[in-house]
Amino acid sequence: MPPVPFDFLARAILAADATTDIEIPLNFFRRGMLDVVERNFIEAIYDFYFILETLFGGGKFKTDAVSAAFLSSSQLRSCVQRGITDPGPMIMLDARIRGSFEQTYGKMSVESAIENMIELRGYLHHHTSKRRGIWNPEDQHKYEIDALFLQRVTYNVIFAIAEPYLYSPDVIRVYEDLVRDLNDRTDPADRS
């Protein structure tokens, strides 16, 4: 993964106070990322799905209504399309995962991918010993590609909603003022 430029991190910190309206989706994304690192893929799916439900579900909870709400969002459709066409390094740099992606999400339409995410969330949410072949919480690895695809889709979503904050003229001006102030206080010989 390429390193994140310092100015990007600095602007994220400077913009933090203004992002209270997107704090919950950002928190779910952070939790989902941690779940992926810890290989808790079922939990990651929940965290990433909650981002989509929060931002695009319109308060709906029945499958058909959620599906209609998700499918009616051009922003979500665009983020899913980008996830299909550019699944990112977490998927593409591992031959095993890339092959699994190409056999599943890589062949799906945007509509099919959205329906699959909704079905998967419902399947994981409703657990009963009466259903044959029900999922086992020990089988996290079975859901790796689903979690990584949702991670990519929600990365696209999160970046789209955070970008206006990161590139707001006020944040850029404060950042530039801080850099200028630091440069004014630093000995020119120390800057090399």
Range with lowest mean pLDDT among 72-81, 108-117, 130-139: 130-139
- List own/partner pairs for 79-86 with CB under 8 A and 24 or more apart: 79/153, 79/154, 79/156, 79/157, 79/160, 80/110, 80/113, 80/114, 80/153, 81/110, 82/152, 82/153, 82/156, 83/113, 83/149, 83/152, 83/153, 83/156, 84/108, 84/110, 84/113, 86/152
pLDDT above 70: residue 2: no
CA 170 – CA 133 distance, rounded (Å):
54
- For residue 21, which amino acid is it? D
Q: Which of 170, 163, 121 is nearest to 26 (CA)?
A: 163
In whole angstroms, give the CA distance from residue 157 to residue 135.
Answer: 28
Map tokens 């800057």 to a residue.
Answer: 191
pLDDT band at 4; cut points 50, 70, 90: low
Task: Write down the pTM of the prediction.
Answer: 0.83
- For residue 27, the number of C-alpha atoms closer than 13 Å in the C-beta half-sphere is 7
Higher-confidence position of 1 and 167: 167
Sole residue written with tokens 């009466």: 130
**What is residue 152's predicted lDDT score, i.e. its pLDDT?**
97
- Per residue in 29-65, pLDDT (tens digit) is 999 999 999 999 999 999 999 999 999 999 998 999 9
Q: What are phi and psi of 174, to 5 degrees?
A: -60, -45
Model confidence at 174, pLDDT cuts 50, 70, 90, reads confident
Q: What are the sequence ranges of the domains in the chain?
A: 20-164
